[in-house]
Structure 1
Amino acid sequence: MRNTVLSYLLLPLFTAVSFSTSAAQQPETDPSTLVVTLQPTAKLDLNQADAPALQASLVGIGKTKAEAIVAYREQHGAFTSVDELLEIKGIGKALLDRNRDKLTAN
């Protein structure tokens, strides 16, 4: 008798717990229905940016290379192309390719 009463008391408790945990589960999202909106990022102008901006925005450009870019611009005038960065010591094709999409020479 004691087991019967105990089972009558525990059955509703387990049922309530079962319903609450199944209700708390999130439905799976179909990845094919997800839409990603990319905001175009503003490109960094080599002819306007100062050394701290170059250092903060570009991958692999530290303080020394950023200062070298500014010094090159002051010596040779405005950049006409992003490819002119290859003229600066320490900047090679691989480094330029990593940052090309972030730069402009207006």
Structure 2
Amino acid sequence: MKRGKATKTEWCLLGLTAVFLCLLLVLSHTEQVPLDPGVVVETETEVPQEEVAPPFEPVDLNTADEAELDTLPGIGEALAGRIIAYREANGPFETVEELLEVSGIGEKKLADLDGWITVNGTADAVP
């Protein structure tokens, strides 16, 4: 790279950059409005739980179809199909913990489903 005197174009660009930075500095100081010490700014508000997440009904393992099971966290199409296949082969689930018998569901996944699933309308506490 050849070093030498700056060209007229480079001086123009440098000047325009300086003007731009000065304008930004002026604008940043003019838009600041000092707060009145008597004004209280509230930063936290409480939102009722109903507005954050509407209440939902847990999915019943004995009546849910594949689409309903697929809405559960960590349960995809394949796992939903295995849950239904297990239910058809072994009869209705008696407890939520019986879900551990389905291939692909372990303790962690069962814990993640706590509050999301039920058996015959009874939400057993997941250990």
TM-score range, shorter chain: 0.5 to 0.7
Identity of aligned residues (%): 40
SS in 2 for 1:73: helix
Deviations 1:43-92 (A, max 9, x none): 1011110112101x211111111000000101111111111110011100
Q: When the two structures are aligned, how many residues end up with a matched partner?
A: 82
CA contact (8 A) 1:80 1:105 kept: yes
Q: Which runs of 5+ in 1 are unaligned?
A: 1-17
Cα drift, residue 29 of structure 1: 2.8
With the length of structure 1 as denominator, give the TM-score of the two structures. Answer: 0.66
Q: TM-score, normalised by structure 2?
A: 0.56
Equivalent residue, structure 1, for 2:12: none
Q: Which residue of 2 aligns with 1:50?
A: 65
Determine the C-alpha separation between the residues in 1 that align with 2:41 and 2:116: 36
Task: State the partner residue of 1:95.
Answer: 109
Corresponding residue number in structure 2 for 1:76: 90
* Aligned-partner Cα distance in 2 for 1:48–1:83: 16
Note the aligned Cα RMSD (angstroms): 2.1
Does residue 28 (structure 1) correspond to residue 36 (structure 2)? The answer is: no
Structure 2, unmatched stretches of 5+, are 1-30, 34-39, 121-127
CA contact (8 A) 1:82 1:104 kept: yes
What SS does the corresponding residue of 1:100 show, helix, strand or coil?
Answer: coil
Distance 2:73 2:47 in 1: 28
Greater share of residues in helix:
1
